[in-house]
Amino acid sequence: MRAVALSFLLLPMLPAYAGSVQGFCERDGKRITFTDGIAFVDARDSDGVVTTTLYLTAKPLDRKALAQCAECAGAPGENTFSSPRGDLVEAQRTATADGWMEIQHVAGELDMATIVNIMYLAKDGVLTGIDGGNGKVVLETNTPTRIVGMVVSEAHEAPMNETDMTCKVAFDLVPGWPKP
């Protein structure tokens, strides 16, 4: 009985492994602070190469609403353009209006992770990007059950640094589309 009680006392001291996102990206005075995220298989090509997409958002995602997408529960298509998942995440303005980042990881021969975009909805309603082209995704863990990494920025030398942004974002996500 003491062991059970002790395990409940120690539980809050364990690191959080699911859904941990913290950090920011900033450019030209606009800062997006990321607090939530989701990772999911978004495509599988004819050779079996999987593209995993990660979205980091400024506000909490509505996972219950995402789970209601019948199309999203099926097997992924051959490319991300035919997937409804990313569009559905981006349409959640309660989570994305203050900003979001889309990262795609293609686990083929190149094994590359790239920032697709960093966007926010400006006060005038215009969709605006802050990506300065100097962001770098570093994955520490990439398994079917856990993706841990960082988005950092590398400064360009002048005069190529006019569009530089600063990013310091850490994420620890459990891949998978929400279930109803």
pLDDT of residue 14: 36
pLDDT tens string 3-12: 434 333 333 4
> Of 23, 11, 26, which is closest to residue 170 (Cα–Cα)?
23
More confident residue, 1 or 31: 31
pLDDT band at 158 (very low <50, low <70, confident <90, very high): confident
For 88-146, the pLDDT digits (tens) are 999 999 999 999 999 999 987 778 899 999 999 988 889 999 988 889 999 999 998 99
The residues, any chain, with a CB within 8 Å of residue 160's CB and separated by 6 or more, are none
Question: Would you call 65 exposed, middle or buried from its count of C-beta atoms within 10 A (0-12, 13-18, 19+)?
Answer: middle
Query: What is the Cα 47 distance to its own chain's centre?
Result: 25
Bigger pLDDT: 33 vs 15: 33
Nearest partner of 95 among 138, 60, 65, judged by Cα:
60
Segments making up each domain of the chain, as ranges:
18-173
pLDDT of 13 above 90? no
Between 54 and 131, residue with greater pLDDT: 54
Count of CB atoms within 10 A of residue 176's CB?
13
Mean pLDDT of 47-67: 95
pLDDT at position 11, please?
A: 37
Is the predicted pLDDT of residue 51 greater than 80, yes or no? Answer: yes
- Of 60, 65, 109, 107, nearest in space to 88 by CA: 65
- For residues 135 and 25, is the Cβ–Cβ distance under 8 A? yes
Mean pLDDT of all residues belonging to the chain: 87
Contact yes or no for 93/61 (Cβ under 8 A): no
- Contacts of residue 145, Cβ cutoff 8 Å, sequence gap at least 6: 174, 175
